[in-house]
Amino acid sequence: MGKNKLRKFAELENNPLVLQYPFGRVRDGGFPLRGRWHEDFFHNENPIVLELGCGKGEYTVGLGRRFPDKNFIGIDIKGARIWSGATAAMRDDMKNVAFIRTSIELLDKFFAPGEVSEIWITFPDPQMKKVNKRLTGTRFVEMYRRVLAPGGLIHLKTDSPFLYNYTTMMVTHNGLEVLQSTADLYATLSPEDPILNIRTHYEQQWLSRGLTIKYVLFRPGTEPSLQEPPGADELEPDTYRSYSRGHVPGEEEIHGGADN
């Protein structure tokens, strides 16, 4: 492991805004803040908002700055990524921001039923071949239901046509309430929008490649049990994802028209 990563991990250990709880630690001792985030961590009754797969934490910190009347928690398994947002939040003495280093699959081990008001899912891997790992798949949305308060919200922001189309099919098939949905966010977005104009590292990359950003805002409800939408396995995959994140494809490559 490089010296830079070791330094970041050491700093995370001493950052009071970062809670590191791998599966074994949660399994053996539970999580002491579950059901007590308001009383024991934030010391207020403001709504709790999660960013799942928060990466560098740009959304967690950006939302925290814009909405001091809400509490924001970024969750990611990669400590070297969390370091950026956690360091910025501690430097600015932000009282409404925290980070958890753990697996998203353990979400309901960290939050009690109804403890969360909103969930942001920003630019996740679309998991085109593994629906059980897809963060807007029915398996995960059922888990979100267990921690969200009544009327709770889920935001998806993605560059992936596949994930946008799948999510749209899933919410439609299950009759979930959709509050907003667009396949080209910046063609419809007001430049003054205080939420959607926060741009993550990966979002900047996708925009520079000429890709459109998609957005879905919906309420997952509480019942009945969610069902996978028929025909979802026939959705066209994202052809440009055969390239690494560092590769900048041309226009033909983006739209699948080039010979690879």
pLDDT value of residue 166? 98
pLDDT value of residue 243? 43
Residue 14 burial class via C-beta count within 10 angstroms: exposed 0-12, middle 13-18, buried 19 and up:
exposed
> Which segments of the chain have a pLDDT < 50?
242-260
Note the pLDDT tens digit of each residue in 48-89: 999 999 999 999 999 999 999 999 999 999 877 889 999 999
Which candidate, 78, 72, 162, places its Cα nearest to that of 125? 162
Other residues' Cβ atoms within 10 Å of the Cβ of residue 180: 12
pLDDT value of residue 45? 97
pLDDT value of residue 239? 79
Other residues' Cβ atoms within 10 Å of the Cβ of residue 114: 13
Token pair for residue 9? 């991990």
Q: Is 125 a catalytic residue?
A: yes
Give bridge partners of residue 182 from the DSSP assignment: 215
Give residue for tokens 């063609």: 187
pLDDT value of residue 2? 62
Which of 28, 76, 108, 125 is catalytic? The answer is 125
Give bridge partners of residue 118 from the DSSP assignment: 49, 153
Q: How many angstroms separate the CA atoms of 88 and 169, rounded?
A: 38
Q: How many angstroms separate the CA atoms of 251 and 177, rounded?
A: 35
pLDDT value of residue 254? 33
User: In Å, what is the CA distance from 85 to each residue of 103, 157, 224, 240, 247?
Assistant: 18, 19, 37, 28, 25
Note the pLDDT tens digit of each residue in 133-162: 999 999 999 999 999 999 999 999 999 999
pLDDT value of residue 203? 82
pLDDT value of residue 240? 60
Give bridge partners of residue 58 from the DSSP assignment: none
Token pair for residue 259? 């010979």
